[in-house]
Structure 1
Amino acid sequence: MAVMAYEPLSQEEVLQQGFLALDTPEGFRAELIEGDVVVTPPPDGDHEDYINLVLKQVVRRSVTDMDFSGNKGLIVPRSAHHPTHRLIPDGTWAPTKHRLFRGADSWMPAEGVEMVAAVTSTRPAGDREAKRRCYAQGGIPLYLLVDRGDGSVTLFSDPSSSDYRDVRTLPFGKPLPLPEPFAFELDTSEFV
């Protein structure tokens, strides 16, 4: 009788398997951010209104035709200190010509994504810090953060392996320039 030897799972593999086996209540989102499992409740109406205001402008004013996905699961490559991140931005944009979302699983690689957006909610520090670092590590060119607590909008750009090198924050009401492939000023007057 042959005895089968099994390799023990690494801590990262156990964490990934446990995360993927979670059964979150309907409407809730579970994310794996810097080694922590974060579960958030469904967004409120104001949260959705901010994303809607951004989405409408991108559709109307962007110089590049963009596809949009709300609440798309993104797999962000591993950093030196944390396992692979699994994040769900409030909004994800990719050039239509790539058809990035067509046929994608519920969790897809972040390659090809041009911009992600978040509106602060129950854990604003996570949106401001941890998620920002994860998106930069994943090489996502732009991270747009609508910060309800601060009454500001921030565009993070020029990602490195640990963070974004360029940060531009303006109060609600001021136009925020979005670079190529969007190439327009985001009007935040309705955010006030």
Structure 2
Amino acid sequence: MTAMAHDQHTQEDFLLEGFLALDTPEGFRAELIDGEIVVTPPPLGGHEDIIGLIVEQIFQKTKTRVNFAGTKGLIVPSGGACPKNRVIPDGTFALAELRLFRDAGTWMPAEGVLLVLEVTSRRAGIDREAKRHCYARADIPFYLLADRDERALTLFSEPQGDDYRDSSRVPFGKALPLPDPFGFELETFEFP
């Protein structure tokens, strides 16, 4: 092993150890995204309202039973210096038959995750770009982004490499078709 590779490995280990040792204040969320530690303050009410409206519709209208975990830590591949990212989606869905969340620890692998949900917060660019790439690299079939600044809902699908090959976008107030296994139109007219 070369000295440079050894130094890089040590830096990555140090970053991960430091991240995992963080003691963030209650309600704050700490994530490790492409070598950057991102700490997010508790969300405002409109953020949580959108999550609730989406989760409610998915449980009521989806053709297949799904399980949901709010703010579940996922370990996903990195595109940066750190080999693994630690991200926390606003919502994570998996097929109920997998019981994916039953024995999961604080951080779990993303294998088996069907859809991740993000509602933009104060640092919307992270949700629009960095996290999208993380989820695509993890081969998560669907990424649903509710962009409050742009007042639009986007479904990214068909992950390939560092991004998704397809996306469907509607402004708030319109319905967004969710393909199988969901198989319904997600209504956005109540989004704040």
* Shorter-normalised TM range: over 0.9
TM-score, with structure 2 as normaliser: 0.93
Query: Which segments of 5 or more consecutive residues in structure 2 lack a partner in the other structure?
Result: 1-5
Alignment partner of 1:54 is 2:54: yes
Report what 1:39 is aligned to. Answer: 39
Aligned residue for 1:143?
A: 143
Q: Give 1:34's aligned amino acid.
A: D
- Displacement after TM superposition at 1:82 (Å): 4.2
Superposed, 1:42-121 pairs within 5 Å as 42-79=42-79, 82-121=82-121
Find out whether 1:161 has 2:161 as its counterpart. Answer: yes
Q: SS where residue 89 of structure 2 aligns?
A: coil
Q: 1:183 Cα deviation (Å)?
A: 1.0
Could you tell me which residue of structure 1 aligns to residue 3 of structure 2?
none
Task: Tell me the TM-score normalized by structure 1.
Answer: 0.93
What's the offset of the Cα at 1:189? 1.1
Q: Distance in 1 between matches of 2:141 and 2:81?
A: 22
| Cα distance in 2 between the residues matched to 1:158 and 1:78 | 18
Letter in 2 for 1:126: I
Equivalent position SS for 2:92 = strand
User: What is the rounded CA distance, in whole Å, between the counterparts of 1:154 and 1:170 in structure 2?
Assistant: 7
Query: Is the alpha carbon distance of 1:152 and 1:90 closer, same or farther for their aligned partners in structure 2, counting shifts above 3 Å?
Result: same
Alpha-carbon distance, 1:13 to partner? 1.1
**Post-superposition offset of 1:12:** 1.3
How large is the Cα RMSD of the aligned pairs?
A: 1.4
Amino acid of the residue matched to residue 145 of structure 1?
L
User: Could you tell me which residue of structure 2 aligns to residue 172 of structure 1?
Assistant: 172
Amino acid at match of 2:13: E
1:160, CA displacement in angstroms?
Answer: 1.1
The match for 1:3 is none
Runs of 4+ in structure 1 displaced over 3 angstroms?
Answer: 78-82
Structure label with greater radius of gyration: 1
SS of the equivalent of 1:189 reads coil
Aligned positions of 1:13-28 closer than 5 A = 13-28=13-28
Structure 1 segment 115-130 matched on structure 2, within 5 A = 115-130=115-130
C-alpha separation in 2, matches of 1:160 and 1:10: 30
DSSP 3-state at the match of 1:74 = strand
What SS does the aligned partner of 1:15 have?
Answer: helix
The answer on whether the counterparts of 2:34 and 2:78 sit within 8 Å (CA) in structure 1 is no
